[in-house]
Amino acid sequence: MRASVAAEKAGFPTTSIVLSGFLGQAKTVAQALGIKNLALAEYPGLVAMDSPDELRRKVTETVVKNIISGFTRQVEDIGQSREPKPSDIIFTGNLEEVQEHFLKNYWTDGLPVIPPTVDKIEKFLRFTTRKPDEIIGKLLPENREATVWNVAVNGVMAGCRPEYMPILLSVAEAVADPEFRIQDAGATPGWEPLIILNGPIIKQLNFNYETGVMRFGRRANTSIGRFLKLFLINIAGLRIPPGLSDKATIGSGFLVVLPENEDAVAEIGWESFSMYRGFKREDNVVTVQSVVYESSPMATGGEKAVDHLQTLSEVIGGSMAPWTHVALNWGKFYPLIVIPPGVARFLAKEGVTKKDIRRYLYDHTKVSVKSMERLAHHGGLTSFYVDQLVKDGIAPPAYAETNDPDRMVPVFLRPEWIGIVVSGDPGRTRCRGYVQNHEQGPPVSKKIQLPANWENSLNPLNKL
């Protein structure tokens, strides 16, 4: 879409072939990039459900005609729409009227928000030395600038405390990083961004990292998770109505912040998740990555480390097998395994490290090529064949050691791409896996920059 818009602005006519279900999204993205009526050739219906004869008929009777019509259309360059200035008052009214106004304009996640008044925003800005108009990046699909100011605005709306501002800025930097590919966050699998947190700030701001760590309830975990959702709605423009820029077929649940149990990993001698990402143990770090679905919460047990690892491979790893074809097709996959402190402590006592867990999962979690190719074809990847991917250098050689369609190959593309976080109830043994969506939303980590006199400026209410 961006290529078509660029070509049109350069004076070269284009026509983009779009399925019926994506027409709204295509028009919204094109308009956000400055073209009011980009030429679109509609393919009616669902191409994956059509027979070869039906496909041929639709292309001949409809798509070709739309392509020709599109090349003769005069597109209109509307430039960039005007955004309100940071200090502009966009609405006045009582609390109920404010909520209705925000809902009407699709500026919320459907829940009530804290009205982002200037005085509340300025309280957030006191926790950073960065200028309010500093541009963090441009977020697609609406091509809007993310600034320090609008980070604070969405933080207020989400119910965050002002002290959370350094974390909010790092989260915004992570999703604005081109590597994260925020433009894909409205993809049909309906993935959500997950925030993983490391460092002393976890205790300083009273994050929950034990029982019910991924449940709503603790203000820090919940409000910062909600901030990211509002930020993607209001700055990136990833909203379902009215423009259908979010095309999640069904979608995933709202995710809260996942902090690692820093005390547990230090006690047993494991590296923290942020250390694995290249930071020091004392650094405060946020990592944001996509999550397209979760595994079942499976308890592990046994008197030997291998008993626990076998369950992790069979259940947690096995639940990720249906997504291997997607990962293999794009050559990237960064799944996340969450292990509670009790299980981690037992494994460490047996001499097992996080690196050992990754290696075991890679070596023992398998899926058949036949199953992988069948699921790929059902999902629309009709040219997906494992042998060809190996020949093209996209899939590793391990996926084509024989030509047997029933051969078992690794679920995980590389052992070093498996993330492991120690968190959850110290008294239970239930582990969980989070399936990441290939090149869309790979883990991006940013160090949190704290203002001077940080600890002395913290509000005692953070303990609530």
Looking at residue 342, its pLDDT comes to 96
pTM, two decimals, is 0.88
Looking at residue 23, its pLDDT comes to 66
138 touches 32 (CB < 8 A): no
Q: Which is nearest to 316 in space by CA: 341, 333, 292, 339?
A: 339
| Statement: residue 17 has pLDDT above 90 | no
Q: Hey, what are 338's tokens?
A: 């969450």
Q: Supply the DSSP symbol for 272.
A: P
Q: In 77-211, which residue ranges form alpha helices assigned H by DSSP?
A: 95-104, 118-125, 148-158, 165-176, 201-204
CA distance 363 to 359: 6
Q: In 205-270, which residue ranges form alpha helices assigned H by DSSP?
A: 219-231, 262-268
| Statement: residue 10 has pLDDT above 80 | no
Q: What is the mean pLDDT of the chain?
A: 88
Residue 40: pLDDT band (50, 70, 90) is confident
Q: Which residue has the higher pLDDT, 380 or 126?
A: 126
Domain boundaries, the chain: 2-71, 90-258
Q: How far is residue 442 CA from its own chain's centroid?
A: 8
Mean pLDDT is lowest, of 223-227, 298-302, 335-339, for 298-302
| Statement: residue 161 has pLDDT above 70 | yes
| Statement: residue 73 has pLDDT above 70 | no
The tens digit of pLDDT for each residue in 385-404 reads 999 999 999 898 989 999 89
Residue 64: pLDDT band (50, 70, 90) is confident
| For helices 118-125 and 148-158, angle between their N-to-C axes, nearest 10 degrees | 110
Residue 211: pLDDT band (50, 70, 90) is very high
Q: Residue 378: in which H helix or E strand, if any?
A: helix 369-378
Residue type, 271: E
Q: CA Rg, the chain, in Å?
A: 24
